[in-house]
Amino acid sequence: MKITISETGKIGKGEMGLFLDDINYAIDGGLNAEMLENRNFEATVYQKGGFAACGDHGWTPYPAEGSAALKVKTDRPLHLENPHYMRVVANADGAGMRNRAYGGLTLRRGTEYEISFFVRSYEDKNTAYVGAIGEKTLFEKKVKIKPDGKWHRYCVRVKCKEDATGAAFVFRLAKAGMVHADCFSMRPVNAILKLFRRDLIALIEELKPRFLRFPGGGVVAEYRWKGSVGGRDLRRHFPNCHAAGSAALAHYGQTLDLGFYEYFRLAEYLGAQPIPALPVGECGEETETYVQDALDLIEFANGSADTMWGSLRAELGHPVPFHLSAIALGSAEQAGSEEARKRIEIVASAIRAKDEKIKLLTPSDEKEEGHVREVRLVLPPDELQNATIAQLGDDEETHVVYAAAGATEGRLSSALAEAALLTELENAAVCGARTYAPLFARDGYAQTPALIRFDGSRAFGTPSYYVQKLFSLYTGANILHAQADASLPVSATEQEGVTYVKAVNLSDDPVEAEVEGEHDFGALNRVILIEGDPAACNTASEPTKIAARDVAPAAPRTALLPPHSFCVLVFRK
């Protein structure tokens, strides 16, 4: 079989980025380095078609049922924004409560952790102990509680002396008695930016994303950015719409520990363009509030330190602007709504009046003047690999968000279907950005596939992760025309004397591909390959069962493409 490439003179505008969607416990219980679950007793539970308060979620008496009486209270709270707190009555010396910590704490030897909490006590002096307990006590620190009837914050640091998984966080009183407690926190001191889980950040750094979209698609309507900046304990908890999905997700909520300020810092850390997604409201709601929220976000991100919202950014520790240049408006569910289209245009017009350089992404079935069209392709693998350019139109600015529906285990077959779609998009140069959604999924809590899966102790890329990585790292700025004389999805790009040819073999048979062209593009220098059983997926025990690997070239212009494989052929002059 022959792959023919030729120069076209086209300059590619394609970029690969990340879609940080707040589903699958991606933020709390995931990227957020906070280790305690329901740390401020604001959890809700989805039941009988609605949400109900469930402040004791994740907390149980210690050391056994009956050792302590736990009751969630709301009178005279620490903060009105998060009014629930826990009354702890220790029925015996040494009793208290434990936190399940998303299935148990994972502790690393030599890592230092910071633990903080608030306590109010009306009784005689008592001592509280906080620590981690597995088969034995792993560490414990004590603090003397002030008995003046006022809320006080206590903070300790501790270094773990051994590795442990499945440990419990424990808060207990030295003597039998009663206290009120709220706003617990336990974080590794070495968290990225003191905020983000290190292993998850390491995996997304490898993708070299050009942009970072947040907080997702369906959850956009729930996020109001102004409630996510300022003091960590003053951010009002809200239930996540995905809590209605299953019993495992019934308590899914958002503490907003990682809000829009932290999101901008993450994008800056990754060297990625931030693309915040903002709601425009629903029928019956006033649009003016959403207009003002959008304008104020621009000032928060880009305004000088002497503006109202720019001064808040400076107070939070970032006097230099974040250089926001793009905003997504509306949710995916509003793509075909005439009412939403009107609302989007009202907000968009106000943004253009404030800063005409801001690029606006909107969900739409058709291209609209002044907007970048955002298209969602959420299809089963057999349909995704056959998705055509005709479905997307010929707009080079279109943002394409893709995912293979039904691939809950992240199979190779789904990743190859995605690769086939991406070669077509790259070869035709019809879209400005591509990204997979969603980014993260916590094992045991996931509704959908994801690029990266994790639990408390491990994180790994799915086959889709490696496809995304190869397209992100091995794509040149100049688009070449690529064509195979068989039904083989191929694309080609070039930059500074290096040509990248991508090919997907979806068949059960190996294919010997000879690459030829009308110009000198050099000799085959490197082959990067993903292959395997199409039903195979990566797991915590086999995290790289399907991964990209280098193969030594056997000839200057010829490569063997194994069955069910995706490869990048690198030619260098």
Residue 391 resides in a domain:
yes
| pLDDT of 391 above 70 | no
Residue 131 resides in a domain:
yes
Chain centroid, CA 254 distance in Å: 13
Q: Where are the beta strands (DSSP E) in 233-383?
A: 238-239, 253-254, 273-278, 326-329, 359-363, 372-379
Instruction: Check: CB of residue 404 under 8 Å from CB of residue 438.
Output: no
**Rounded Cα distance, 168 and 463, in Å:** 33
Residues 6+ apart with CB under 8 A from 573: 497, 498, 520, 521, 522
**From 89-103, 277-291, 541-555, the region with the lowest mean pLDDT:** 277-291
- Rounded to 5 degrees, φ, ψ at 532 are 150, -170
**Rounded Cα distance, 255 and 38, in Å:** 8
Are 529 and 444 within one domain?
no
Residue 50 resides in a domain:
yes
pLDDT digits (tens, 9 = 90+) for 233-260: 999 998 888 888 778 889 999 999 999 9
| pLDDT of 154 above 80 | yes
Structure tokens at 454: 């994790």
Are 169 and 203 within one domain?
no
Are 25 and 94 within one domain?
no
Output the average pLDDT for the chain: 92
Residue 491 resides in a domain:
yes
pLDDT digits (tens, 9 = 90+) for 81-108: 999 999 999 999 999 999 999 999 999 9
- Residue 460: its pLDDT value, please? 97
Are 136 and 95 within one domain?
yes
- Residue 408: its pLDDT value, please? 54
**From 185-199, 294-308, 339-353, the region with the lowest mean pLDDT:** 339-353
Residue 460 resides in a domain:
yes
Predicted confidence band of residue 487 (pLDDT cuts 50, 70, 90): confident
Are 172 and 200 within one domain?
no
Largest CA distance in the chain: 88
> Nearest-CA neighbor of 26 among 271, 166, 216?
216
Question: How many CA atoms within 13 Å lie on the side-chain side of 456?
Answer: 19
What is the pLDDT averaged over residues 323-330?
Answer: 95
What is the pLDDT averaged over residues 399-415?
Answer: 77
- CATH number, position 528: 2.60.40.1180
Are 172 and 197 within one domain?
no
Question: Domain boundary residue among 419, 450, 478?
Answer: 478
DSSP code for 196: B
Predicted confidence band of residue 379 (pLDDT cuts 50, 70, 90): confident
DSSP code for 391: G
**From 314-323, 404-413, 513-522, 525-534, the region with the lowest mean pLDDT:** 404-413
What is the pLDDT averaged over residues 530-554?
Answer: 95
- Residue 406: its pLDDT value, please? 58
Q: Can you give the length of the chain in residues?
A: 573
DSSP code for 557: S
Question: Domain boundary residue among 446, 478, 510?
Answer: 478
| pLDDT of 178 above 80 | yes
Q: How many domains does the chain have?
A: 3
The single-letter code of the amino acid at 226 is K
Are 179 and 246 within one domain?
no
Predicted confidence band of residue 13 (pLDDT cuts 50, 70, 90): low
Are 221 and 142 within one domain?
no
Residue 38 resides in a domain:
no
pLDDT digits (tens, 9 = 90+) for 181-237: 999 999 999 999 999 999 999 999 999 999 999 998 778 888 899 999 989 999 999
Are 417 and 470 within one domain?
yes
- 151 is in which domain, residue-wise? 44-188
Candidate ranges 95-104, 410-419, 429-438; pick with highest mean pLDDT: 95-104
Are 378 and 262 within one domain?
yes
Are 485 and 557 within one domain?
yes
pLDDT digits (tens, 9 = 90+) for 14-46: 789 999 998 889 999 999 999 999 999 999 999
- CATH number, position 295: 3.20.20.80
414 by DSSP, 3-state: which? helix
Are 504 and 551 within one domain?
yes
Predicted confidence band of residue 76 (pLDDT cuts 50, 70, 90): very high
- Residue 389: its pLDDT value, please? 63
**Rounded Cα distance, 440 and 461, in Å:** 9
Question: Domain boundary residue among 188, 203, 237?
Answer: 188
Residues 6+ apart with CB under 8 A from 369: none
Instruction: Check: CB of residue 394 under 8 Å from CB of residue 431.
Output: no
Instruction: Check: CB of residue 268 under 8 Å from CB of residue 260.
Output: no
Residue 248 resides in a domain:
yes
Output the CA–CA distances (angstroms, integers) from residue 200 to 71, 197, 456, in the order listed: 35, 6, 11
Residue 39 resides in a domain:
no
What is the pLDDT averaged over residues 132-151?
Answer: 96
Identify which has the larger pLDDT, 503 or 400: 503
- Residue 278: its pLDDT value, please? 96
